[in-house]
Chain A
């Protein structure tokens, strides 16, 4: 990956990765199958040829008899015919009397301690032996007669190779078939990526709309992120545009007024009038400053809403801090606080929310009728923070307009700055919530409502 990031233009395709991975799986699996097949073939061949060996030894053991006090072994031809089924293998055998004397067959064969199958050699060639005992209890002869039969392992090795070879061949064919299917599957799975790539490469640079291509879940996250990113870019772009569009309009009038007052003041000789004029100029300058603050504040909040990671925020703390700050600035005396026992948490930016509540509170204090109160509540997954006053509030017909940037109500009066509610609306939007107005006949409510985090969050 380090190399890949060092040379960003040379990217390995998913197809290549899949092909390499699949090839590794097939090679690894194939090797495992081949080893397993060889072991299986060996076992199967051993098992079948061991049976022949045991069969032949048993036939020879059956042929042991005592006749006239003498140990007789009349080996049936079928014993050797059975062994001859391993066509090219050499055979040795020995029948030993209870006293250890060789009755018939080859002397000095390797002999196991007990009955059973064991490995050995016949004049240097690998061989398999079986020992079978026959217990005689005749008047003339009592004891253990031992039959040992050995056979070289040529045929079983060939059979093992054949079984393994076929298993490997079959799994090879199956592997090729599966590789073909895998190719088709990979092609099919990667088709949406191709479509996406085609769409993105032909997309106009300034097109910030969501990507219209249907994509599977796995890359849906990617596309959603892309969509969100483009939406943010669009919001930022439009916020910048709004700021640039509003600023001249909003700032030019108060500045022109201040300039006009200042020019008048320059001609004025009467100190009393001059003082009144300077006072007005000062008042205008204060308003202009507040307006600039609000515009910058709004731009900042819009920026923060997109740029700052959201963290759990308790609305009660937001309400307390807002009331505290408004108090601190003066004029906030007598603001009521209605807070629930439990925390009301939302995922958000405490600063933006605080600004929004302060804005609402400032509006209520300036235009509303005391008593003013801030109320926080949470129910059914929705968190609410409200600012209430006893006045008539904003007339219902202007609720929608109030939230847009050019709030007709505020206008560019000497006292107000018309951006307040639009900032609150922006904050609400950034927190996937809403700003609502309502009047219950007694009090006017400005409500900021947004999704509440679960109790455990």
Chain B
């Protein structure tokens, strides 16, 4: 196991997997929220390798717990409760920049898994729990679902008016970030990195140039984000069918978590990771020369992390100001510095036609439909039989 640079948070799933167990442990890339993993007991977010390992060992059973909780700002000031799936170390700079403009306000940031966050928000909406003042989640389908079910309140400002149609719904759901779904390629193993999905399918074809390419992608049963990306792939193009067939033939691996996928490529366990969240990939690529990031030229899914103010928020005005800050020029600069808005040019995607934003519209309700999910996962299981899901 090799750790890249001084990357702070670690994923400790791999070791457990090798033992043949279901993934169980702390994965910092919480965007891969393990919504449908009933065995997931605990997620610890701790600084440093040692603490991470300790956390995984002393994993205690708990239900719907925060993964991390940080309070910033003056100790005596009222605290705005912000709940999100974003890693605290990535998101806190944004919150700190906001607090610099609000001297009389503090923020309590709670980092949740997307599944727990959704459950908690639903509970709060029904009046059974304390509501947050602002929710920021990469599980945009859950966010749209919550807003659709009347759990959000509207916020209108000059800043929200600048949002394009797909990043604003009902003046309640705001698309804050822009994070592409990319391929991460090991430069040494794949010098001729595929530029499109067609390239990838061709490579994996029997007798193709890279028949034995080791490919990994999210396990959509475990990762909400992986499910969302795969589902959007299935809506975008007919490529999806060929792609999962190719994955099937080549013995591709489905696994958890952005970080594990990226780490696996850096370590050489896999040659290519498909549908990785670009914001994390960009952050890692900045520290490691071993990987290349490919935004597929046929189309690149663009996720806009969604924020909304819950209906029961105690401080909706302050939450609205935080939304406005994140949409302002200053806020965007901080988001960009933390890779939450990519430098598109740097990704090699210049053609706007190939960028396919995941629109924040009720179409995402389909993603949350139970029957649809069951069918989609059946299809996926046929491609990735259970024995391979555990890893190489």
Contact B150 A123 (CB under 8 A): yes
Q: What B residues does A79 contact at CB under 8 A?
A: 366
Instruction: Indicate whether A87 sits within 8 Å of B165 (C-beta atoms), given known contacts A72-B375, A80-B365.
Output: yes
B378 → chain A closest CB, angstroms: 10
Q: Mark A121-137, 1 if CB is under 8 A from B, else 0.
A: 01111000000000000
Residue B361 lies at the interface, judged by CB distance under 8 Å to chain A: yes
A338 → chain B closest CB, angstroms: 106
Residue B161 lies at the interface, judged by CB distance under 8 Å to chain A: no
Q: What A residues does B372 contact at CB under 8 A?
A: 73-75, 104
Contact A122 B362 (CB under 8 A): no
User: Given the complex of chains A and B, what is the CA–CA distance between A122 and B169 in angstroms?
Assistant: 17
Q: Mark A1-42, 1 if CB is under 8 A from B, else 0.
A: 000000000000000000000000000000000000000000
| Majority SS at the chain B contact face | helix
Taking a contact as CB atoms closer than 8 A, the residue among A72, A73, A77, A103 that contacts B235 in the complex is A77
B145 → chain A closest CB, angstroms: 10
B328 → chain A closest CB, angstroms: 24
Residue A388 lies at the interface, judged by CB distance under 8 Å to chain B: no
Residue A295 lies at the interface, judged by CB distance under 8 Å to chain B: no
B285 → chain A closest CB, angstroms: 33
Contact A125 B150 (CB under 8 A): yes
User: Given the complex of chains A and B, what is the CA–CA distance between A91 and B361 in angstroms?
Assistant: 11
Residue A81 lies at the interface, judged by CB distance under 8 Å to chain B: yes
Size range of the chain B interface in the assembly: 10 to 19
Q: What B residues does A83 contact at CB under 8 A?
A: 362
B375 → chain A closest CB, angstroms: 5
Q: Mark A67-97, 1 if CB is under 8 A from B, else 0.
A: 0000011110101110110011111100100
Taking a contact as CB atoms closer than 8 A, the residue among A88, A95, A122 that contacts B170 in the complex is A88
Residue A105 lies at the interface, judged by CB distance under 8 Å to chain B: yes
A61 → chain B closest CB, angstroms: 13
Q: What A residues does B212 contact at CB under 8 A?
A: none
Q: What A residues does B365 contact at CB under 8 A?
A: 80, 91
Size range of the chain A interface in the assembly: 20 to 34
Contact B149 A123 (CB under 8 A): yes
User: Given the complex of chains A and B, what is the CA–CA distance between A77 and B366 in angstroms?
Assistant: 7
Contact B150 A80 (CB under 8 A): no
Contact A74 B362 (CB under 8 A): no
Contact A84 B371 (CB under 8 A): no
Residue B370 lies at the interface, judged by CB distance under 8 Å to chain A: yes
Contact A90 B366 (CB under 8 A): no
Of all chain A residues, which has the CB nearest B359?
A: A84
Segment 284-334 of B: residues with Cβ below 8 Å from A: none
Contact A104 B148 (CB under 8 A): no
Taking a contact as CB atoms closer than 8 A, the residue among B148, B165, B171 that contacts A90 in the complex is B148
Residue B369 lies at the interface, judged by CB distance under 8 Å to chain A: yes
Contact B371 A103 (CB under 8 A): yes
Of all chain B residues, which has the CB nearest A122?
A: B150
Contact B150 A124 (CB under 8 A): yes
Q: Which of B170, B171, B235, B362 has the most CB of A within 10 A?
A: B362
User: Given the complex of chains A and B, what is the CA–CA distance between A87 and B171 in angstroms?
Assistant: 11
Q: What A residues does B169 contact at CB under 8 A?
A: 87-88
Q: What A residues does B370 contact at CB under 8 A?
A: 104
Q: What B residues does A81 contact at CB under 8 A?
A: 363
Segment 354-387 of B: residues with Cβ below 8 Å from A: 361-363, 365-366, 369-372, 375
Of all chain B residues, which has the CB nearest A89?
A: B362
Contact B170 A73 (CB under 8 A): no
Closest 3 CB pairs of A and B: A104-B371, A123-B150, A80-B363
- Beyond the given A77-B235, A88-B170, A123-B149, please list 20 additional residue pairs across the A-B interface where CB-CB is below 8 A: A74-B375, A75-B369, A75-B372, A79-B366, A80-B362, A80-B363, A81-B363, A83-B362, A84-B363, A88-B169, A88-B171, A90-B147, A90-B148, A90-B150, A91-B148, A92-B148, A95-B371, A103-B371, A104-B370, A105-B369
Which B residues contact A (CB, under 8 angstroms)? 147-150, 165, 169-171, 235, 361-363, 365-366, 369-372, 375
